[in-house]
Amino acid sequence: MAKLVKKPRKNGYKLPDPLPLGEILEDINKKKWILGPSIGKGGFGEIYSAREYTESSKPSKQYPYVIKIEPHANGPLFVEMHFYMRNAKPDEVDAFRLSKKMHHFGMPKYIASGSHQHDKQKYRFLVMEKFGSDIWKLFLENNRKFPPVTVFKLGIQILDVLEYIHSKGYVHADIKGANILLGEDSKNPKQVYLVDFGLASHFSSLLKPDPKKAHNGTIEYTSRDAHLGVQTRRGDLEILAYNLIQWLGCRLPWEENLDPASVQNSKNQYMNDIEQFLKTCFKNEKVPKTVANILKYITSLEVGDTPDYEHLRKILADGIKAESGS
């Protein structure tokens, strides 16, 4: 009988064959990890629950980590691994958190990574902290609408992470509910974490279109700069803004459109007329000043400007106060 060949996904990447429960992986520092059950598949690879392994390890069903695995020929996990190794060292993440006087911070920390061979197939893997459910799932469970206070608090937490990433010279480029996870920390269950750095890249301070990278990201949230193939800090803020509008219960005008060029044109038109954009989104509901002020600020930024994160946090904090009646 002919052996089935795993077909590449529509995105051009091949999903890995499943690895067996209990498979032991060794990272670049010779530390060993044992795989638990698979907990999901992404566009490029598979994610397993995992724990540290030593020869004296007792059998356990506790898996405090996850391991993301993809075939060695794929690219996104390679990008993500190197982003974590360069920019998510635990001491650097903690130093930034302390410098900003934050009790909690939604930037995941680098733990370990490496390569693994199984049945003549070579894989790369990344060990990550284990988080809870994603915001997109909660959004759907809440009939596609969060209370404004929740949305503005999410905005502040993601903004904190973007400031950190940008300070390292990078942009995330794929901010969306599916990439924002709840923490498992029972002391602070309302903290969220921005994950999936497979599209992270150095930001540009020049608007030099690159057709090869045009429209990168998730089409409904992709920034106008990213539609041109240019990754910018203001672009990350624009992506976040589209998410905030959607989380408030609105349908983005281009949401059902799958044609990248058409979506790009729609965004250009609406972002050139913010008042009309928000009227279209919120229909008969009152447009939150918070969202209008954020969009106005984003459109005021030049391509190479360093965003004023504190100003944006204040806009969101004022929105929380207004909604809370305090």
Q: Which residues are catalytic?
A: 174
Phi, psi for 245 (deg, rounded to 5):
-60, -45
CA-to-CA separations, 193 to 184, 293, 310, in angstroms, rounded: 10, 25, 19
Strand partners, 67: 48, 127
Q: Tokens 């998410």 appear where?
A: 243
- Structure tokens of 194? 């921005």
Rounded Cα distance between 44 and 52, Å, is 24
Does 190 show up as a binding residue in the annotation? no
Q: 111 in helix, strand or coil? A: coil
Q: 192 in helix, strand or coil? A: strand
Query: What DSSP string runs through 47-99?
Result: EEEEEEE-TTPPP-----EEEEEEETT-SHHHHHHHHHHHH--HHHHHHHHHH
CA-to-CA separations, 177 to 84, 205, 297, 300, in angstroms, rounded: 20, 27, 23, 26
Q: What is the 3-state secondary structure (H, E, C) of 257-282?
A: CCCHHHHHHHHHHHHCCHHHHHHHHH
Q: In what order do the strands lie in the sheet with 46-53?
A: 24-26, 32-41, 46-53, 65-71, 121-129, 112-118
CA-to-CA separations, 49 to 39, 67, 90, 127, 317, in angstroms, rounded: 6, 6, 21, 10, 36
User: Could you tell me which of 221, 203, 185, 196 has the C-alpha nearest to residue 105?
Assistant: 185
Rounded Cα distance between 47 and 166, Å, is 27
Residues annotated within a binding site for ATP:
68
Residues annotated within a binding site:
68
